[in-house]
Chains A and B, each alone.
Chain A
Amino acid sequence: MTNLEFTPLVFGISAVAGCLGALTGLGGGVVVTPALTLFLGVDIRYAIGASLVSVIATSSGAAAAFVREGYSNIRIGMFLEIATTVGAVLGAFLASRTPTAVLSIVFGLVLLHAAWQSTHARPSEREAKQSDALADRLKLNGSYPTAEGPCQYQVNHVKTGFSLMFGAGALSGLLGIGSGALKVIAMDQAMHVPFKVSTTTSNFMIGVTAAASAGIYLSRGYIEPALAMPVMLGVLSGSLLGARQLIGARVRVLRWIFAGVVGLMAIEMILNGVKGKL
């Protein structure tokens, strides 16, 4: 296959991944890497390098739409980014010391979780009655707009959330994904931040987290320009299209289809890792 055939193929796969990622809220990065390794035989290190680049693009590209709604909390985001960026740097260093078979298995497990999350996750609906002392000191409590005016919320378990964010950052750096699902869990489930605030703040944080591992990926030679080009452009255009289609799409059916595809890819990644094929 020549570059003239390979590049449009990668663009097409990435666009589909980006579109599905936006529609289901899971992000395109998590699907691009297994698609490139399983369908096109790309080495997993090149795949995660290209995927990480696309993660920065979608996070920053979607930010404008999210911010206008007034849900994201810049203080929660900035404070937790200390944990995600340190985690991302360590994860990226770890990636170059981890055998590709192990990377493949870990990736498969993350995909299995993504498949489960996309069909079973529900907002926690728990509301913190009182914020903890650290949240007060860091001014993390905020409000978001509703039809009846601004709704105040309190933030809890800041330390637990911070530790989980470190894990989310490490996973992001290790696998070149946004790990938005884990970020939302840390905020929504652990810190009792309202779901809508969690998802939009998470999107805001993903780009900064990914940028923290990008420098290390670059110097380790994971970012191959000719491969990253169609992946970045594909995921970006697919996700912008997906975000536009969100209203009116049959999201429930889509989620199940997506979960099925992701689940199959997860099993394939784990099997390949066990057999040492990647």
Chain B
Amino acid sequence: MTDQRLEVIISVLLRTGVLLAAAVVLLGGTCFLYKHGAEQPEYHVFHATNPPYRSVSGVLHAAGPSNCQAIIQIGILLLILTPIARVAFSLAGFSLEHDRTYMVLTTIVLLILIYSLAAPH
């Protein structure tokens, strides 16, 4: 496996992830407008998003056909996972190349990304 071949595979992965995420966001958005279209948006004062939409576990629990915002948020989580999957895939690629240095460097990046998404802040 060459670097170039690895990058082509990764780029296809990225594009698929983005399109999938966009489709889910569009689905949730259509559902949101259908249900809450007549309501007034309140974005000029910051009061932080509702707690269920602020963590991976919260979103997964809230998701269902009746909760459109949670569907949008699942799409956004898929989108955030796309570059993370890219890094994980690079790690596999560097392992196949037996490149120790880059296995370590890539693991560090992966850990930082997982910390940001999974650790409570």
Residues of A in contact with B (beta carbons under 8 Å apart) = 1-4, 6-7, 40-43, 45-46, 53, 56-57, 59-61, 63-64, 66-68, 70, 72, 74-75, 78-79, 81-82, 85-86, 88-89, 92-93, 100, 137-139, 207-208, 210-216, 218-230, 232-233, 236
A-B contact count (CB 8 A): 204
Other than A56-B82, A215-B115, A230-B29, give 20 A-B pairs with Cβ distance below 8 A.
Answer: A3-B36, A4-B37, A7-B29, A45-B46, A46-B43, A56-B83, A60-B79, A64-B15, A67-B8, A68-B11, A81-B87, A139-B101, A207-B14, A207-B86, A208-B113, A220-B54, A226-B36, A226-B69, A226-B72, A228-B25
Determine if B17 and A60 form an interchain contact, defined as CB atoms under 8 angstroms apart: yes
The CA of A50 and the CA of B70, in the complex, are separated in Å by 15
What's the minimum C-beta distance from B120 to chain A, rounded to whole angstroms? Answer: 7
Determine if A208 and B109 form an interchain contact, defined as CB atoms under 8 angstroms apart: yes
In the complex, which residues of chain A have a beta carbon less than 8 angstroms from the beta carbon of B50?
Answer: 221
In the complex, which residues of chain B have a beta carbon less than 8 angstroms from the beta carbon of A212?
Answer: 112-113, 116
Contact A63:B49 (CB < 8 A) given known A3-B39, A225-B28, A226-B36:
no
Determine if B15 and A85 form an interchain contact, defined as CB atoms under 8 angstroms apart: no
**Interface: B108 (CB within 8 A):** yes
Determine if A78 and B102 form an interchain contact, defined as CB atoms under 8 angstroms apart: yes
What's the minimum C-beta distance from B83 to chain A, rounded to whole angstroms? Answer: 4
The CA of A7 and the CA of B69, in the complex, are separated in Å by 14
What's the minimum C-beta distance from A166 to chain B, rounded to whole angstroms? Answer: 12
Among the listed B18, B37, B109, which residue makes an inter-chain contact with A60, where contact means beta carbons less than 8 Å apart? B18
The CA of A92 and the CA of B116, in the complex, are separated in Å by 10
Contact A78:B115 (CB < 8 A) given known A57-B18, A67-B10, A219-B54:
no
Give A73's nearest chain B residue, CB to CB.
Answer: B3
Query: Interface residues of B: mostly helix, strand, loop or mixed?
Result: helix
Determine if A60 and B83 form an interchain contact, defined as CB atoms under 8 angstroms apart: yes
Determine if B79 and A81 form an interchain contact, defined as CB atoms under 8 angstroms apart: no
Among the listed B3, B14, B48, which residue makes an inter-chain contact with A63, where contact means beta carbons less than 8 Å apart? B14
Give B12's nearest chain A residue, CB to CB.
Answer: A64
In the complex, which residues of chain A have a beta carbon less than 8 angstroms from the beta carbon of B51?
Answer: 221
Among the listed B37, B39, B120, which residue makes an inter-chain contact with A219, where contact means beta carbons less than 8 Å apart? B120
Which of A41, A61, A215 is most buried by chain B, counting CB atoms within 10 A of its CB?
A: A215
Give B93's nearest chain A residue, CB to CB.
Answer: A74
In the complex, which residues of chain B have a beta carbon less than 8 angstroms from the beta carbon of A207?
Answer: 14, 82-83, 86
In the complex, which residues of chain B have a beta carbon less than 8 angstroms from the beta carbon of A43?
Answer: 43-46
The CA of A221 and the CA of B48, in the complex, are separated in Å by 4
Determine if B109 and A75 form an interchain contact, defined as CB atoms under 8 angstroms apart: no
Give B121's nearest chain A residue, CB to CB.
Answer: A219
In the complex, which residues of chain A have a beta carbon less than 8 angstroms from the beta carbon of B43?
Answer: 40-43, 46, 224, 227
Determine if B49 and A208 form an interchain contact, defined as CB atoms under 8 angstroms apart: no
Q: What are 13 A-to-B residue pairs whose CB atoms are below 8 Å?
A: A2-B38, A3-B38, A3-B39, A56-B80, A60-B17, A75-B3, A78-B87, A100-B46, A211-B84, A215-B115, A223-B73, A226-B36, A229-B29
The CA of A218 and the CA of B14, in the complex, are separated in Å by 21
Determine if A3 and B41 form an interchain contact, defined as CB atoms under 8 angstroms apart: yes
In the complex, which residues of chain B have a beta carbon less than 8 angstroms from the beta carbon of A92?
Answer: 116
Among the listed B12, B83, B101, which residue makes an inter-chain contact with A208, where contact means beta carbons less than 8 Å apart? B83
